[in-house]
Amino acid sequence: MTLVSSLLESMTGIHIFYVVGLLIFITLFIVIFIRTMRRPAAEMNEYKESIFNDKDPDGSERS
Amino acid sequence: MENQKFYYDNKTVKLFLLATIIWGVVAVLVGVLIACQLAFPAFNFGLEYTTFGRMRPLHTNAVIFAFVGNAIFAGVYYSLQKLLKARLFSDVLSKIHFWGWQLIIVLAAVTFTLGISTSKEYAELEWPIDILLTVVWVIFGWNMIGTILKRRVQHIYAAIWWYLATFLGVALLHVVNSFELPISLIKSYPIYAGAQDAVVQWWYGHNAVAFFLTTPFLGLMYYYLPKAANRPIYSYRLSIIHFWSLIFLYMWAGPHHLLYQALPEWVQALGVTFSIMLIAPSWGGMINGLLTLRGAWDKVRDSAVLKFFVVAVTAYGMSTFEGPMMSLRNVNQMTHFTDWTIAHTHIAGMAWNGGMTFGMLYWLLPRIFRTKLYSEKLANTHFWIATLSILVYAIPLYWSAVTQWLMLREYTPEGFLAYPNFLETLTQILPMYTLRIISGIMFLTGFLIMVYNLFKTMAAGSVEANEAAEAPALVLAGKRKPLNETIHRWMERKTVRFSIWVFVALFIGGAIQIIPMIFIKSNIPTIDTVTPYTPLELEGRDVYVKEGCYTCHSQVIRPFRWETDRYGDYSKIGEFVYDHPFLWGSRRTGPDLARAGYVNGPMYKNSAWHYNHFMDPQKMNEQSIMPRYDWFAKKDVNLDMTPNKIRAMQTLGVPYPEGFDEQAVDDLLWQANQIVAELKLSGIEIEPTKEMVAMIAYMHKLGRDIEPNTNQNLDSHDTGE
């Protein structure tokens, strides 16, 4: 294993893929998080409830 | 706004529901069969068609693609229409999708039984069926996206994002993992080799779990759980965040299947970090599901549907916690190659996928048949039997994993392995395998109770193939209103744009891992003494693939003293450069074979031993659970194919000399005759063209190349040089 890893340590530039990916993820996460949290509750409720707007045979319709 | 009239397609949903039930029984039955085989090898029936190595892929594929697959399509197609207030895009596509998928399943069952397999776990289908699968999958996506485009509601509900991610994720995985070079209609070699093949395969294997067993079921959870509880999902915000983090992170975590094996350190580190990060979004989903039921727990008590959902979502949370734990290196030492993994997959499969599917069937089927469930009581009975059977499955196997691991690494005070014979550790855990059979029978019983209940329900009702409905047409959305619209909201207003973003998120994870492995040659250092397989060894290797020996044997030794003492020197990445496909395996039901040909190593056995062992393992070791392979002595290697195989290998970059394909058969016979002569010395008569001879040659090749000073007479002849 040490044999393998020492050989690979000489692979320059590989870690950058990994770091960049993480950074992309963290940035996107923060952006999506903030924007999502700032949505009005009414809109969120509308979406949540939207699945009940169908005429179910057993009459489980809510709205 | 004027209402438009349209009809929901319930017939397609019904067909997929029926297929789920029928294939589910088959999948579980085969599971019980292979559980019996592992406890009592007589259940291999001495037939090549029914040996464990061929039945195990049948079981896994039947569960994943037949049972779970059909359940996904039924659940998706029903909820998609209701959520979007639109009929499925095209009746023709729905038909092709349904029958195409069933055709794939039948072809899979037939080919696996005949030993036609690529040996890549959960991707064992040979190339023509792979192509068929791609076509049918695209039809599914086309039908789904078409329906989304002609929807009558503005907002695309959370469940559907997951469906879309499923479609895109599986498409990407399947295509990348299936690059193979066909040499006949029923045989191909993957273009990747060795460690590279392993990374691609487990990137696929891991993400098949993500995008076939997780994302579609999260989608189903977001629809059927609130529907069944008759209350909206706990937090819509959480569903958005949960969605994007999960699909982004999942793709990265593939290499955690290969820890401590011959893989670059950085690939391992990557897999581990992302596996741990995955806990967060996974638990976000679980919490969202469970909190939906807050204040409704009284309903759960009475409803089998909700009980199944609760167990499913809880099991999802447990498995997604256990999974990342298993990718920690020191935990993985134990869980990898032992029954721990088997227990883990069955908690996820039986409880999460099974539970969601059962709940959905009990909820949906009566609705489609416009009647009440025949018996709520039987459904509750099913629930309790199924839940109990999961415990009876998991607990013994966890026990077995710990026991075997402790035994395998135990040393005497003098510094020798306490149990040098692998079989001793296996004998110790065999009683657990008997318990597993009991669990399987319980699970099957519960399943059959459900089948009875559902068929009674169907008999009492009737399907309205085209259910009338009406809704106003969709008003087209305008441009993005940058300030008061979330990015997510903006993107998902436009299906195509949304899909592209999902694809980008998936692609980054996949690419980051795979691109370096493919393009950076220096990633895999070559070892000068490692030579390509001789034609005979190659034929033997193909028999190994065909018989599914990899379902019980690994071929990679980790760098622990208790492994190197038992199996020989640990594996080096450069040893596998000619392996199309890699055969590292994932479960050591039998001992590792990576150094089976290392003459002075602990695993070496001579030709006569191998002959007798393949003819009847139980005669050599009464306790062995390896199936017998006596047909190796009767069946011939197909010499017509040998030159093709060599040419295919050359195309893939294996350095056989120019024109070697012409000499391949002569070379094969020359080497085979040596083994025949050797066997004769032990009084065994066999023709050189038999599979047995090829298999023995292959066994003796394993690990031999890096052995110092064993100038075996074959070496100089290896590549005809």
CB contact under 8 A, A32 and B260: no
Tokens found for residue B668:
């094969």
State pLDDT tens for residues B656-679.
999 999 999 999 999 999 999 999
Q: Look at residue B587 and give its three-state secondary structure.
A: strand
pLDDT per residue over B164-212, tens digit each? 999 998 998 898 888 999 999 999 999 988 887 887 888 888 888 889 9
Could you say which of B226, B240, B486 has the minimum Cβ distance to residue A51?
Answer: B226
Q: How far apart (Å, rounded) are the C-alpha atoms in residues B312 and B446?
A: 16
Q: Residue B549: phi, psi to the nearest 5? A: -60, -25
Question: Cα(B322)–Cα(B344) distance, rounded to whole angstroms?
Answer: 8
- Give the Cβ contact number of residue B460 at 10 Å: 14
Distance of CA B664 to the CA centre of its chain: 35
DSSP string, B161-206: HHHHHHHHHHHHHHHHHT-EEEEETTEEEESS-HHHHHHHHHHHHH
Contact B530, B654 (CB under 8 A): no
| Residue in A35, A49, A60 nearest the CB of B232 | A49
**Nearest-CB residue to A47 (from B157, B266, B508):** B157
CB pair distance less than 8 Å for A45 and B232: yes
- Distance, CA of B154 to chain centre: 37
Q: Do A52 and B525 touch (CB under 8 A)?
A: no
For B225, which residue in chain A has the nearest alpha carbon?
A51
Subunit contact A11:B522, Cβ cutoff 8 A: yes
Q: What does B99-138 look like in DSSP terms, one character per residue?
A: HHHHHHHHHHHHHHHTT-----TT----HHHHHHHHHHHH
Buried b (16+ CB within 10 A) or exposed e, B82-104: bbbbbbbbbeebbebbbebbbeb
pLDDT tens digits, B56-101: 999 999 999 999 999 999 999 999 999 999 999 999 999 999 999 9
Minimal C-alpha gap between A55 and chain B (Å): 8
DSSP annotation of B373 reads -
Q: Give A27 to chain B, closest Cα distance, Å.
A: 11
CA distance B721 to B718: 7
* Distance (Å, whole) CA B99 – CA B678: 53
Q: Which amino acid is residue B238, in one-letter code?
A: L
CB contact under 8 A, B266 and A8: yes
Residue pLDDT, tens place only, B413-424: 999 999 999 999
- The length of chain A in residues reads 63
Q: Is the pLDDT of residue B712 over 50?
A: no
Question: Does pLDDT of B289 surpass 60?
Answer: yes
For residue B490, what pLDDT is reported? 53
Residues of B in contact with A34 (CB under 8 A): none
Tens digits of residue pLDDT in B520-542: 445 677 788 899 999 999 999 99
pLDDT at B154: 82
Would you call A63 an interface residue with chain B, using a CB distance cutoff of 8 Å? no
Expressed in percent and rounded to 5, the helix, strand and coil fractions of chain A are 65, 0, 35
Inter-chain residue contact B262 with A29, CB threshold 8 Å:
no
Compute the nearest-CA separation of B262 from chain A (Å). Answer: 7
Residue in chain B lying closest to A15 (CA): B266
Rounded to a whole number, what is the distance in Å from the CA of B285 to chain A's nearest CA? 15
Position A7 scores a pLDDT of: 38
Q: Which residues in chain A touch residue B230, judged by CB atoms under 8 angstroms apart?
A: 52, 60, 62
Helices assigned H by DSSP within B214-264? 215-229, 236-250
Is any Cβ of chain B less than 8 angstroms from the Cβ of A36?
Answer: yes
State yes or no: pLDDT of B690 exceeds 50: yes
Q: In sequence order, what DSSP letters do the residues of B329-352 get, joined into one string? A: HHHHHHHTBSHHHHHHHHIIIIII
Interchain contact A58–B (C-beta under 8 A): yes
Q: Check whether B323 has a pLDDT greater than 90.
A: no
Residue type, B453: N
- Nearest residue on chain A to B249, judged by CA atoms? A25
- Do the Cβ atoms of A32 and B241 come within 8 Å? yes
Q: Choose among B227, B249, B469: nearest Cβ to A51.
A: B227
B8 by DSSP, 3-state: which?
strand
Cα(B573)–Cα(B264) distance, integer angstroms: 9
Contact B267, B517 (CB under 8 A): yes
Percent helix / strand / coil, chain B, rounded to 5: 70, 5, 30
Q: Is the pLDDT of residue B497 over 80?
A: no
> How far apart are alpha carbons B567 and B564 in whole angstroms?
5
Helix B91-113 and helix B69-84: axis angle, to 10°?
Answer: 170
Out of B112-121, B374-383, B454-463, B700-709, least confident range: B700-709
Using a 10 angstrom Cβ sphere, with 0-12 exposed, 13-18 middle and 19 or more buried, the burial of residue B599 is middle
Helix (H) or strand (E) holding B283: helix B279-292
Domain architecture of chain B: domains with CATH: 293-475 (1.20.210.10), 535-718 (1.10.760.10)
Question: Which of B155, B260, B559 is opposite residue A47, by nearest beta carbon?
Answer: B155
Is B9 strand, coil or helix?
strand
Helix (H) or strand (E) holding B398: helix B376-408
Task: Compare CB distances from B487 to A9, A31, A62 and report the shortest one's residue.
Answer: A31
Separation in Å, CA of A63 to nearest CA in chain B: 11
- Closest chain A residue to B274, measured at CA: A22
Q: In whole angstroms, what is the distance from residue B106 CA to residue B73 CA?
A: 17
pTM (two decimals)? 0.92
